[in-house]
Amino acid sequence: MSADDAELRIPQRRSVANFADVMNFHIESENPVVKAVVEGTAPQPARLAAARGILPLPQNDLLELLVGLTRGDDAELAAQAKQTLASQEADALHAAITSDEVATGVLEYFAGREELPVSVHEAILANAKTPPAAILEMAANTKNGQLLELISFNQQLLIANPKIMEAILGNSNRSPEAERRAAEVKREFFEKERGAQQIANELRAKGKDAAAEFIENGEFADRIGEDDGLSIDDALFLAEHIEVPDAETDDAWLGLEYLEEIYEETEEQRQAIVNKIIGEFSLEDDELAAERISTINRVMKMNMKDRVRLAMKGDREARTILIRDPNRIVAQAVVQNPRISEQEVEKIAAMRTVTEDVLRQIASNRQWARNYAVMHTLARNPRTPMANVLNILSRLQLRDLVALSKNRNVSDAVRRQAMRLSQARAGR
Domain residue limits, the chain:
3-141, 342-428
Give the per-residue pLDDT at 127: 93
Give the per-residue pLDDT at 69: 93
Per-residue pLDDT tens, the chain, 428 aa: give them. Answer: 444 444 444 444 333 333 334 345 788 999 999 999 998 899 999 999 999 999 899 999 999 999 999 988 889 999 999 999 999 998 999 999 999 899 999 999 999 898 899 999 999 999 999 999 999 999 999 999 999 999 999 998 998 899 999 999 999 999 999 999 998 888 777 754 456 777 888 888 888 888 888 888 776 666 665 555 667 778 888 888 888 888 887 766 565 554 554 566 778 888 888 888 888 888 877 677 788 888 898 888 888 888 888 999 999 999 999 999 988 888 999 999 999 999 999 999 999 989 899 999 999 999 999 999 999 999 999 999 999 999 999 999 999 999 999 999 999 999 999 999 999 988 76
Going by C-alpha positions, the residue among 192, 172, 167, 149 that lies closest to residue 8 is: 167
| Contact criterion met (CB below 8 Å) for 141 and 11 | yes
Instruction: Tell me how far apart the alpha carbons of residues 428 and 197 are, in angstroms, rounded to a whole number.
Output: 70
Instruction: Tell me how far apart the alpha carbons of residues 313 and 122 are, in angstroms, rounded to a whole number.
Output: 41
The torsion defined by the Cα of 301, 306, 309 and 310, in degrees rounded to 10, comes to -10
Q: How far is CA 231 from CA 2, 60, 228, 235, in A?
A: 22, 50, 9, 6
Question: For residue 242, what are the β-bridge partners?
Answer: 314
Give the per-residue pLDDT at 270: 82
182 phi, psi to nearest 5 deg: -65, -40
Q: What radius of gyration, in Å, describes the C-alpha atoms of the chain?
A: 30
Going by C-alpha positions, the residue among 348, 331, 414 that lies closest to residue 379 is: 414
**CA angle at 282 for the pair 279 and 286, rounded to the nearest 5°:** 155
pTM above 0.75, yes or no: no
Please list, in sequence order, all residues whose beta carbon lies within 8 angstroms of the beta carbon of residue 301, skipping any fewer than 6 positions away.
230, 234, 270
Question: For residue 314, what are the β-bridge partners?
Answer: 242
Instruction: Tell me how far apart the alpha carbons of residues 5 and 164 are, in angstroms, rounded to a whole number.
Output: 11
Give the per-residue pLDDT at 186: 84
Furthest-apart CA atoms within the chain: distance in Å: 93
Give the per-residue pLDDT at 263: 61
Instruction: Tell me how far apart the alpha carbons of residues 139 and 338 are, in angstroms, rounded to a whole number.
Output: 43
Instruction: Tell me how far apart the alpha carbons of residues 185 and 55 are, in angstroms, rounded to a whole number.
Output: 47
